[in-house]
Chain A
Amino acid sequence: MRRFLAMLLAALMVISLAACNPVNPTDKPTDKATDKATDAPTEAQTEDDAEGSYINGMYYFKETREITVEVFDRNVDNGTPANDNKFTDWIKAGVLRDHNIKVEFVAVPRWTETDEINNLLAAGDAPDICYTYSYPTILQYASQDGVIDLAELVEDKEMFPNLWSWLKESNIYWDKSVTDGSLYALEGRRANSNRIVTFIRQDWLDALKLDVPTTKAEFEACLVAFRDNAATLLGENADKMVPYSVSYDVGWRAGTLIESFIDPDITDKEFYINGFDDRKYTENGTKEAIRLLNKWYNMGLLWDDFALYGPGDTTEDDMMKAGYVGALTHNWDYVFRNGEDSINYQLTINVGENAKFVPCDPFEDANGTHQKFVDSGAGDRKAFLPYTNEEPIASLLYLDWISTASNILYLQTGEEGVNHIKGDDGSYKIISALGTEWAQNSGQNIDLTMTCNGLNLGDANITALSTAYSYPNNDPALVAAADAIAKTDTIPAKNVKVATIESENGMGEVLKTARDEGFDKSVVCAVADFDKTWDQYMASYLAQGGQDIIDERTVAWEAVYSGDSLQ
């Protein structure tokens, strides 16, 4: 298989070179890459070879290599060009200095990244190092011969020491196939596995003399009180009141509510075979969660127009900032994001000093705890090398460099006095440099630290302290409280190692559409029609390919594991 792939890649190289580039006889990167891969285990680890040598433990190419690297473009107000700024310059200089590799960054729009990479791959113009969030997508590329198998290349621990020490075996082998040993992507490390938290307006609770809710019943009572006292709370804008705001993406925006209805004793097997949909549409219990939302919708507790506004629309955010929304469930740090434009900061400007969303944990499960299914350290961003990559070794060296602890630290915290102030306790207080040339285009530069998503400063205590300080214009105590709730009663994802599920190929978007349709229709239907509506759209989801995936996952599980549990 590997030999075949190597030959195929070599053939591809020749074809593409012959087709569009003047052939340079001294430069045969693909041959070199495959040679290196096959020879790696036998060669003395620190020995220099014809291509380069180790200097201070870092592999240094004799001839300068050139690679291109993807970086998300979030089109940030007052930001800098995503592929050309102080931080990309710093990376370029460092990689050239340490490995003699010249790096160019390619900006890819953040919100349409998959479409964009699809097009770039099909056109043969993809960056040498790409990243995305979905492994099924990468497998789809691989089935079209679009991705380089990294299984052997990455084994050279002497050459890629930082990659191994940062990602560890758990992440590097996470996606390794159990059937043919192929490995098409390296899982970046999720430094912070927080997912979803619920927020509620503290000033409204105070005005109505209510406590922060800790159960669904209390939460519902708060929402009803908000609705009934709209005139007191909002005055002439009473008709704009939305007690609990949920968007078209119900599965995410009621995520912890859905999770609270899932049986705490659910088996690994059942969780896995229903696990294709990341919003848990087919999991046992989800239906009851949506039944509750349906009841609330019909009680007038949700936003009537929620389904009319699609992804990227800011109408709902604007309602929150204007102070019309009583509670919401979203990313654990949602109301703190974006400094001066953050929801909580805008509330203080638009409504008053006391107006703020505070985190709460109101959805109890069958055991009375507040279980949250969170991701593990993997399962987040993945880096892969497309078929057009002529420098796989240099590309992996780049990933090694960007995984080095000191480099992550610098990129995340930036320049002292410009991007952060160091506290006496060793913590970093992030200050916004937007509008200057030192602007971080993504929070903590996570788009540049490709193998690290979330704040990681090397030391766990300092990271925790700094997390609370990493949201400019926001109260660190509230951030710390949200962080603590997000880490309460968590159940980390497990890595199920079974054969590739063929029926998942290319189904992501179709089933996502079907699922969102099912969620939204079931929320807005009449209470009496709920069962009928839910079952109808669930049947449609299963008929469109959902059932095939569940069946194939069941067979794949049973082929590897004897019981219902991973252990």
Chain B
Amino acid sequence: MGKKKMMATGIVATKRKGSFGAYIRRYWQLYLLLLLPVVYFVVFKYVPMEYIQIAFKKYKLGITVWEMPLAKNDGFEWFIKAFKNPKFWLSVRNTVVLNLLDLTFGFPAPIIFAIILNELRFSRLKKVTQTIAYMPHFLSWVIIYSVSLALFADNDGMINQVLGTKIPFFSDPTHWIVSYIAIGVWQNFGWGSIIYLAAIAGINPELYEAAMVDGAGRLQRIWHVTLPGIRSTIVVLLIMNLGNILGSGFDRPFAFQNNLVLDVAEVLSTYVYKAGIKSLQLELTTAVGLFQSVICLFFLLGSNWLSRKLGERGIF
């Protein structure tokens, strides 16, 4: 693993020979800088892994997780309970469908936006547009939902009032999915474009000049210079997104769901909240969370493997 990583990330390692101590002495400032994130990951990501075993135990208050007795069915009671529950599979389906839709519409949006911004010549307009597009990212989903209700509610919403219609934006499952995805894209495309703008800024301007000399038009320059220039960034982000195909944020679906659309709106994170956390069934919560993580890991590794097969670098 370590060796592979070195090969993938740089050539320094293969050229220089020397002990670990020598590196520490030479680059101690960099290692010091690294220390803080490492401590963060150990304390907040690795130490808590001890509690994964709750998924296989009968939870008891007041004793350590090591002392808790094993759950029924050799510890698999909670997995069986979850897998037997129709609501669980419904949540899995909804999570995957909503995430795929988010990926289909939400993933290209920031790329397109970044390219459009990049083509703008008038830099003040560019900056203003950029800032306005970022803003929704800083609103909480609860606020976005209340604003959306004022705009889109079937009866009292502004849009329906003005048009004199009763489009069920939030109360009909199909309409709800469209609203949910569209608002999600709107909230995120500005923020998501930052990383692509940075990648575009890193493209050597000589390439554009050479293309112009060769008579390439604007669209051709985008197609043959800009897009290939940010291809590796796109692939890395795509892999990370695919790795999260079964994961989901909590606030967005929770804020947007209502009883009329629960059939399509209940996702794993909200199911876990209701069945596990609110009912103090921490075992069920942990079991579902573990299941989610394992599936996500497979997706992550799978897409990484695929991208390397296709000649891209992947993320590890």
A: residues with CB less than 8 A from B are 12, 15-16, 114-115, 118, 121-122, 124, 137, 140-141, 144-146, 239-240, 248, 303-305, 307-310, 386-388, 506-510, 513-514, 516-517, 519-521, 524, 540, 543-545
Contacts and interface: CB of A to CB of B under 8 A. Distances in A.
A519 B59 CA distance: 33
Contacts of A508: 279
Contact of B153 (A12, A118, A305, A509): A305
Given A517-B262, A521-B260, A12 B85 contact: no
B258 A543 contact: no
B171 A122 contact: no
B47 to A, nearest CB: 16
A308 B280 contact: no
Given A118-B277, A506-B281, A520-B260, A124 B153 contact: no
A146 B280 CA distance: 12
B282 to A, nearest CB: 7
A302 to B, nearest CB: 11
B83 to A, nearest CB: 13
B259 A521 contact: yes
A544 B61 contact: no
Contacts, number: 100
Contact of A310 (B153, B258, B277): B258
B87 A307 contact: no
6 closest A-B pairs by beta carbon, nearest first, are: A520-B259, A304-B155, A146-B61, A506-B281, A506-B279, A509-B278
Contact of A308 (B59, B170, B277, B278): B170
Contacts of A520: 258-260
A514 B87 contact: yes
B155 A12 contact: no
A344 to B, nearest CB: 23
Interface in B116-160: 149, 153-156
A16 B260 contact: no
B63 interface: yes
A396 to B, nearest CB: 21
28 contacts: A12-B62, A115-B278, A124-B61, A140-B279, A140-B280, A141-B280, A145-B60, A239-B161, A248-B258, A304-B155, A305-B171, A308-B153, A309-B149, A386-B61, A387-B62, A388-B62, A506-B275, A509-B274, A509-B279, A510-B279, A513-B262, A513-B274, A514-B87, A520-B260, A521-B260, A540-B86, A540-B87, A544-B87
Interface residues of B, number: 31
A30 to B, nearest CB: 12
Contacts of B278: 114-115, 118, 509
Contact of B166 (A16, A304, A386): A304
B246 interface: no
A117 to B, nearest CB: 9
Q: Which of A307, A519, A521 has the most CB of B within 10 A?
A: A307
Contact of B280 (A145, A303, A506, A517): A506
User: Looking at chain A's contact residues, is the secondary structure mostly helix, strand, loop, or mixed?
Assistant: helix
Nearest to A319: B156
Given A307-B260, A387-B61, A513-B262, A115 B153 contact: no
Contacts of B263: 517
A497 B184 CA distance: 51
Nearest to A147: B61
Nearest to A137: B280
Contacts of A239: 161
Interface string B167-191: 0001100000000000000000000
B242 interface: no
Contacts of B166: 304
A118 B280 contact: yes
B284 interface: yes
A16 B62 contact: yes
Contacts of B155: 303-305
Contacts of A137: 280
B166 to A, nearest CB: 7
B61 to A, nearest CB: 4
Nearest to A117: B280
Nearest to B172: A524
A206 B90 CA distance: 51
Contacts of B153: 305, 308
A514 B90 CA distance: 13
A203 B170 CA distance: 34
B62 A524 contact: no
Contact of B259 (A248, A510, A540): A248
